[in-house]
Structure 1
Amino acid sequence: MSAEKAPAESMVFIGKKPVMNYVVACLTSFNSGAKKVVIKARGRAISRAVDTAELLRRSFARDIEIEKIEIGTEEITRSEEQQKSNVSTIEITLVKK
């Protein structure tokens, strides 16, 4: 039997599901040995990403802290109209103390 190594960093992409689904995904990553979890979101899901990080930090795991927050903009092209638009992005890096 070989021992599996836990990833040092895990990523959770935020979409349209309820916030608690993403909180559970982050907790599962930390409990399986990840030292860092990166929460990524775009557009309207940004508020859900912030809610996920705050719920984790304040309610579920007091030993988790925010290491860094990166914000940015991605330019996307809609295929049917060839029209370009900007979408805001956020990356929240959480670490276990």
Structure 2
Amino acid sequence: MAEEKKDENVVFIGTKPFMNYVTSVVMQFTTKNRSEVVIKARGKHIKTAVDVVEVIRKKFLKDKEIRIKNISIDSEEMQNKEGRTVTVSSIEVTLVKK
């Protein structure tokens, strides 16, 4: 149960349209009144995660004074569809209200 609570403020970036993620994070800060939101992405979606963070900070929640608390990068080895081992990078960006 505690693990479930922790994931409520996490937004995983994937293949949905860009604005869906921006809207999701904005809703976390405004409607759900969260003080902290974590944005996570892997592989080719890292670029989208960075773009989401910047659009939120500079366009949507400019007046809320959102700042980056932490940026964490990592990589892990996985098996691809062909069975080969590949390394996939990941990023985790923690945003907080000032």
Same fold (TM over 0.5): yes
Higher percent of residues as helix: 2
Aligned position for 2:14: 15
Return the offset for 1:17.
1.5
Q: Which has the larger radius of gyration?
A: 1
Q: TM-score, normalised by structure 1?
A: 0.85
The structure 2 residue matched to 1:66, chosen from 63, 68, 76, is: 68
Q: Per residue, is there more strand in 1 or in 2?
A: 1
**Identity, % of aligned pairs?**
47
In structure 1, distance between residues paired with 2:20 and 2:83: 34
Single out whichever of 42-51 and 12-21 deviates more from structure 2: 12-21
Aligned length: 90
Deviation >4 Å, runs of 4+: none
* 1:4-27, Cα deviation, whole Å (9 max, x unpaired): xx97x6000000122111000001
Match of 1:25 in 2: 24
Distance 2:29 2:83 in 1: 41
5+ residue gaps, structure 1: 1-5
In the TM superposition, residue 81 of structure 1 has moved relative to its aligned partner by 4.0
Q: Which runs of 5+ in 2 are unaligned?
A: none
Is 1:94 aligned to 2:95, yes or no? yes
